[in-house]
Structure 1
Amino acid sequence: MRVRAITPEKLTGELADVIDGERRRWVRVAIDGAPAAGTAAFADELVQPLRVRGREVVRVGMDGYVRPASLRFEHGRDDPDSFYESWFDLAGLRREVLDPLADGGTGEVLPALWDAVTDRSPRLDRVRLPERGVVLVDGPLLLGAGLPFDRAVHLWLPGGSLARHTAEADRWTLPAFDRYSSEVAPERLADHVIRVDRPGHPAVVDELD
């Protein structure tokens, strides 16, 4: 494995340059990783560097694309297999965000489909993303499901670091991430792999074993 240390500022600049190099009508970017990896904060940090490069950005979090509680909790509130297989509405994400940003799409995306707190639709308006715009989708379990992302970043907590960084209330999800690691191996599917086991000190994985 070849890994290089990098500052957070330089990392977001490098990724923004790569995304800006895409010549698609719109660019769909996954920021994949467990909640403990801080995907939402990482995606938020990418917004300004992209806008400086003339790219408008829409943020979408998978916490706004969960399925209704009756489906999520069908087998209980802490079932890791349900979390892995049916917690997130990937079909809805594809329909409302990713497909509209395909080359022949409308460019109109829905930032959130479901509010987990109220367990109802938030009834948001669609947002029209101008050409050259970027959607940053953050959340867990985004890779290996055939979703049409143009770029994928995986925030990696290798070995036992995921368990160490996971809050006690979320530890029931760890078997789901074990499955994700063994069945999908997201660090091998992503275009960019970032080790985040040392908070504030990311490292770019330039080459896996």
Structure 2
Amino acid sequence: MSVEEITAEDGPRERILAATAKLLSEGGQEAVSTRAVGAAAGVQAPTIYRLFGDKQGLLDAAAAEGFAAYLSDKTGLEPTGDPIEDLRAGWDLHLGFGLANPALYLLMYGRQRPGATPPPAAVAGTEILAAHIRRIAEAGRLRVTEERAAQLVHAAGSGTTVTLIGQPEGQRDLELSMLAREAVIAAITTGAPAAETPGPVGAAVALRAALPGTEALTEAEQALLREWLDRIARSQ
């Protein structure tokens, strides 16, 4: 919602968040102050403090709204028969959101504080990425652990996006994203199902992905087997 779309029926929280998003889009984080937000939303500063605590709380809420907007696009992607192509599509969608919403993206990904609890939408985004990686593992195409693969994709994808945001819009080297994406995919996947590749690592990764579908083991036995398989997968 933009400031122009605010109506009398909108509550103060909605008006404040819309005003914050508008100020972020126009001037970045430096443009966001309680005075500017209050003037744009038609509320007094005490209302902002009551709803969000302080400016940091307001920015955190704006980041949560940003994740929710991003997820509304990402969850609309229909899985295909090729999980690696789906990962490519997810990467490109992530980049496109960042370039279309640079100030919001930097708020979402450039201000993460160690130990801070991520917003629910951020957790949901992590789960979507994990699901992409799980499908690759189930297809026998993952060469590293699911956790390492997800961390690498997240780190490379967000880092590439932040780098491109920092380049002048008319001079952005979009090929950088393609090169980074393909380098990550090459690092975490195999050219053929891992089960067809000799060696224990690929077999361990594939079996680890299939564990949730088995009922032959108790929960404790599954936990122990996961630990062993993870150890094998990390041994390469």
User: TM-score per shorter chain, which class?
Assistant: under 0.3
As a proportion of its length, which structure holds more strand?
1
Higher RCO (CA 8 Å, separation ≥ 6 residues)? 1
> TM-score, normalising length from structure 2?
0.24
TM-score by length of 1: 0.26
Higher helix proportion = 2
